[in-house]
Amino acid sequence: MASSILTIQNFQKETLVELQGFAKNLGDTLNQFQTDTKGVLQQTADEINRAVDQSIQT
Q: What is the pLDDT of residues 6-26, one digit of tens each?
A: 999 999 999 999 999 999 999
Q: What is the pLDDT of residue 16?
A: 98
Arithmetic mean of pLDDT, 44-54:
96
Cα separation, 19 vs 21, whole angstroms: 5
Q: Is the pLDDT score of 1 beyond 90?
A: no
Q: How far is CA 13 from CA 35, 48, 49, in A?
A: 33, 52, 54
Largest pairwise CA distance in the chain:
84
pTM over 0.85: no
